[in-house]
Amino acid sequence: MFKSKIVKLVVNDVRFPTSLEQHGSDAMHSDPDYSVAYVVVETDADLKGYGLTFTVGRGTEIVVCAVEALSSLVIGKTLEEIVTDFSAFYRLLTSDGQMRWVNWARERINLILIFLQPLWKLLVDMDPRKLIRCIDFRYITDALTEQEALGEVCQLNDEQMLKEGYPAYTTSCAWLGYSDEQLSQLCSAALAEGWTRFKVKVGADLQDDIRRCSLIRKMIGPENTLMIDANQRWNVGEAVSWITTLAEFRPLWIEEPTSPDDILGHAAISKALVPLGIGVATGEQCHNRVMFKQFLQASALQFVQIDSCRVGSVNENLAILLMAAKFKVPVCPHAGGVGLCELVQHLILFDYISLSASLNNRMCEYVDHLHEHFRSPTVIKNAHYMPPTDPGFSCEMLDESVQKYGFPHGDVWRSILKQKGSQDNFSE
Amino acid sequence: MFKSKIVKLVVNDVRFPTSLEQHGSDAMHSDPDYSVAYVVVETDADLKGYGLTFTVGRGTEIVVCAVEALSSLVIGKTLEEIVTDFSAFYRLLTSDGQMRWVNWARERINLILIFLQPLWKLLVDMDPRKLIRCIDFRYITDALTEQEALGEVCQLNDEQMLKEGYPAYTTSCAWLGYSDEQLSQLCSAALAEGWTRFKVKVGADLQDDIRRCSLIRKMIGPENTLMIDANQRWNVGEAVSWITTLAEFRPLWIEEPTSPDDILGHAAISKALVPLGIGVATGEQCHNRVMFKQFLQASALQFVQIDSCRVGSVNENLAILLMAAKFKVPVCPHAGGVGLCELVQHLILFDYISLSASLNNRMCEYVDHLHEHFRSPTVIKNAHYMPPTDPGFSCEMLDESVQKYGFPHGDVWRSILKQKGSQDNFSE
């Protein structure tokens, strides 16, 4: 198998019209159409690989173009060449002498290889020295050396995870665009299903936020966990005063209070919130290991929210998970969108079994949308992610979904765009 | 004129095969082909606008795709709508509810409008309150408020600049791929032309660097200024020890010692170099005002190197120039490439006339390549940039150049790719 050669990359622009029902709406993204650049890697053997990166609609075509631009670096490689020196392959993709100028390390290229096992199992069973060699340590040795990284790897057995799964929290109940009634209904249903941790979108209007947080806190009671998420809406000072007002609802964390690039701003907010017992969570738009390194060095976050597609996929996330382990900051991944739950469950299972060995203040985001388009969708039991058992990274999509939601020529978009066209004509 | 409407954006992928002669080579970019995504904006009147963003070859097609994706936000707008509220227009481009997920503020969109004056003149003559309204203050009010920004604007007259120009330094003598002989020849020629400030590329091999720096320092003598540039090659600790070895050649600054995202790393390097009297310069790959804000807050740089295309063009650079003024850190722009000198001269003239009013430790990079492709190329006299007098942002290219170097169908690339194809066939 390892002698087989990659011969083709097919990239699809697949978009789901989620904005029609305000799923996923927040203080900065008012009309997201959850979308993916979906890649199928073909080899000269009877093997395929699947990968995706998440977007929220317009602009997906740019990511498609970016994957196509990288494909020449991948086509012709044998699997053996890639796995023999993962780190060199990774640097090839992120540091091409010409393309790096377009900030490759900042693009979200998520190129998926072909596995015989589920990815999480491959990672937890991997020899730690081999694991460490997947990481590009350039620019992070002042925070984590190879030797230190090796020292962070423990190896629990996977029994507990296979039995109970990894704790999840839900964001499905309280998107910003939902009415109070919808919010109450969804919250009741989630409580009935066994959810104990809930996230609420805030940041657009303070009075709205007070009303919504109060409603949710009443419904879930004092024992359950509440988190709030501002999706980068505020300036630093504004964040502190706004959150202070919402402190009475006892959120565990405030997520993305300000610009995702503002390490020093997050450090200032973190410091100001210590007396209120509220942590700062961020990371879903943090573009590489160098940024995460500084967030950790500056004590600018108390919860590390890795995302499976924002950074350079698995290798870059390994570096981030190891740094979080060294700085003893819990990792609570970002998920939702399309396929993000499917992908990130592998990384957080690895984090638990091989690095943290703790569930204290740890949980993984879950959003109950669009899983039906995947060959091996996530399995949630009693508000826990159950470890996937199929080989790979769980992101193979159904051919039918790729066809139907393909942008702009799939049936769904043809119909939406046609309708939109006739409306636009009507309004003129 | 302001009633005229934008009706079309034509985007061209134009690449110059500079790698054939090692122009522009450095420790991280071994084979750059200087390139631009070049935009012509057409209106329904007899007016056109021109814009470009710089890249180094492969990947330019992604920037082209990105410009096309943004074009729907621009087409149909009248010039009046845009100029009446520049800040709102800027936020529209950088914060579209769907496209912002693909990190728009991090892409280099450089959309150029139509001016009756040279841009620098338009800026220095603009009412300061109107000028400030071009800036999006979200995320930077903890470093610079609108009121503080207004307080930074002085207004020198432009007499001195028109007479003597703005001081430049040259990078043309010492690209990493040049031989010692080439380096000596170019350096002699530059001295004869009146250049007094020289930059040398370093970072690939320490012994090479010692030899090259020693050669240049001997040639330029103790009075002239030397800068060194590592193009992000090092880890933090490595940077400090490498630069310490090169300190005997008395460089004014070390440029891009490590990852352009590493604010705290640059702060550590800056601190370690204080006893050596060497400053840290960075910014050409710094992607927005939030990053520059932190570099300034953390005393992580002693020279701010804005780039005309990396951030969201003029508006974003105004925010950066004003913050640099407030923090009293000199601005020494990055230029070279294709068109970067043409563009950035406008910004540094504005910086001098309206903000800094000082030439102390200030100068603008100059590279003597590819100017012949522009309708109004930069004018250098006695190693100074002479203020452009033609209307606009000086980046209209010659139609002939756009045709000839268009990728991949222009004559130049057809011939190179054909030759490459036959070589590839030969080597197999």
pLDDT of res. B209: 96
> Which amino acid, B308?
S
Q: Is the pLDDT of residue A114 over 80?
A: no
Residues A197 and A284 grouped into a single domain: yes
Q: How far is CA A55 from CA A59, B188, B305, in A?
A: 8, 53, 32
Same domain, B231 and B279: yes
CB B193 within 8 A of CB B221: no
What gap in Å lies between CA B53 and CA B87, rounded to an integer?
21
Residue with tokens 């005229």: B4
pLDDT at B53: 87
Question: For residues B344 and B204, what is the distance between their CA atoms, to the nearest angstrom?
Answer: 28
Distance of CA B200 to the CA centre of its chain: 17
The 8-class DSSP code of residue A382 comes to: T
Of the pLDDT bands very low, low, confident and very high (cuts 50, 70, 90), residue A104 is very low
d(CA A283, CA A277): 20
pLDDT tens per residue across span B15-51: 999 888 777 777 777 788 999 999 998 999 888 888 8
Contacting B residues, span 37-96, partner chain A, CB-CB under 8 Å? 55-63, 65-66, 69, 95-96
Maximum distance among all Cα pairs of chain A, rounded to whole angstroms = 66
In a domain, A353, yes or no: yes
Question: Which CATH number belongs to the domain containing residue A41 in this structure?
Answer: 3.30.390.10
Chain A, chain B: beta-carbon pairs less than 8 Å apart: 167
Q: Is B326 a catalytic residue?
A: no
Q: Given pLDDT bands bounded at 50, 70 and 90, which one contains residue A106?
A: very low
pLDDT of A428: 37
- B329 lies in a domain? yes
pLDDT, averaged across chain B? 91
Question: What mean pLDDT is predicted for residues A136-156?
Answer: 95
pLDDT of residue B298: 98
Q: Which residue has the tokens 């007499």?
A: B159
CATH of residue B363: 3.20.20.120
Q: Going by DSSP bridges, is the β-strand pair A364-366/A166-174 parallel, antiparallel, or unpaired?
A: parallel
**pLDDT bucket at A48, cuts 50 / 70 / 90:** confident
Task: Provide the H-helix boundaries in A133-262.
Answer: 146-152, 159-164, 180-192, 206-220, 236-246
Q: Which of 290-309 (B) contact A at CB < 8 A? A: 290-291, 293-294, 297-298
Q: What is the pLDDT of residue B108?
A: 44
Rounded CA gap, B112 and B39, in Å? 8
Neighbours of B381 (CB within 10 A): 11
A417 near B CB under 8 A: no
The answer to the question of residue B143 being in a domain is: no
Q: Considering CB atoms only, which of B55, B96, B293 is closest to A102?
A: B55
Assess if residue B134 is contained within a domain: no
Count of structural domains within chain B = 2
Q: Record the tokens describing residue A133, joined without a space.
A: 């060699």
> Are residues A73 and A168 both part of a single domain?
no
User: Are A359 and A407 in a shared domain?
Assistant: no
> pLDDT value at position A423?
67
Instruction: Kindly state the tokens that stand for B79.
Output: 């010039």
Alpha helices in B247-390 (DSSP H): 263-273, 289-297, 313-327, 340-350
Residues A209, A248, single domain; the answer is yes
Note the pLDDT tens digit of each residue in A169-206.
Answer: 999 887 888 899 999 999 999 999 999 999 999 999 99
B-chain residues within 8 Å CB-CB of A61? 65, 69
Q: Could you give the count of Cα atoms lying within 13 Å of B323 in the half-sphere of its Cβ?
A: 32
Q: In this prediction, what percent of chain B has a pLDDT beyond 70? A: 95
pLDDT at A115: 65
B366: β partners: B170
- Using CA atoms, how far apart are residues A279 and B278, in angstroms rounded to an integer? 39
Compare B155 and B112 and report the one with higher pLDDT: B155
DSSP assignment of B158-195, as one string? SHHHHHH-EEEEEEEEE-TTS-HHHHHHHHHHHHHTT-
Confirm or reject contact between B235 and chain A (CB < 8 A). Answer: yes
Edge-to-edge strand list for the sheet holding B35-43: B6-15, B35-43, B48-55
| Judgement on whether residues A95 and A178 belong to the same structural domain of the protein | no
Do B409 and B315 belong together in one domain? Answer: no
Is B10 among the domain residues?
yes
**Mean predicted confidence (pLDDT) in A51-58:** 88
Q: Which residue of A has its CA nearest to B56?
A: A98
How does residue A80 score in pLDDT terms, banded at 50, 70 and 90?
confident
pLDDT band at B115 (very low <50, low <70, confident <90, very high): low
Residue of chain A nearest B66, judged by CA positions: A62
Do A313 and A177 fall within a single domain? Answer: yes
Nearest to B102 among A63, A104, A137 (CB): A63
Is the pLDDT reported for residue A388 higher than 70? yes
Rounded to the nearest integer, the mean pLDDT of chain A is: 91
What pLDDT digit, counting tens, does each position of B52-102 carry? 888 889 989 988 998 898 888 889 999 888 888 888 888 888 777 787 777
- pLDDT tens, B300-328? 999 999 999 888 888 899 999 999 999 99
Kindly state the average pLDDT of the residues A382-406. 95
| Cβ-Cβ contacts under 8 Å, B338 against chain A | none
Q: Distance between CA B84 and CA B134 in Å, rounded?
A: 10
**Does a structural domain hold residue B216?**
yes
Higher-confidence residue of B380 and A311: namely: B380
At B414 the three-state DSSP class reads helix
Q: Which residues of chain B neighbour A142 with C-beta distances below 8 Å? A: 235-237, 265, 268
Torsion of CA A404, A409, A411, A413, to 10 degrees: 100
A-contacting residues in B 91-120 (Cβ below 8 Å): 95-104, 106
Question: Distance between CA A321 and CA A316 in Å, rounded?
Answer: 9
Q: Is residue A426 part of a domain?
A: no
Q: How far is A376 from chain B (nearest CA, A)?
A: 26
Residues B379, B404: one domain? no
Residues B368 and B416 in one domain: no
Catalytic sites of A, residue numbers: 201, 334
In a domain, A379, yes or no: yes
pLDDT digits (tens, 9 = 90+) for B355-374: 999 999 999 999 998 999 99
**Residue ranges making up the domain that contains B357:** 159-385
pLDDT score of A382 more than 90: yes
Residues of A in contact with B69 (CB under 8 A): 58-59, 61-62
Q: Which residues contact A267 (CB under 8 A, 6 or more apart)?
A: A298, A299, A300
Query: Is there a single domain that holds both residue B85 and residue B213?
Result: no
Residue A296 sits in the same domain as residue A381: yes
CB contact under 8 A, B290 and A262: yes
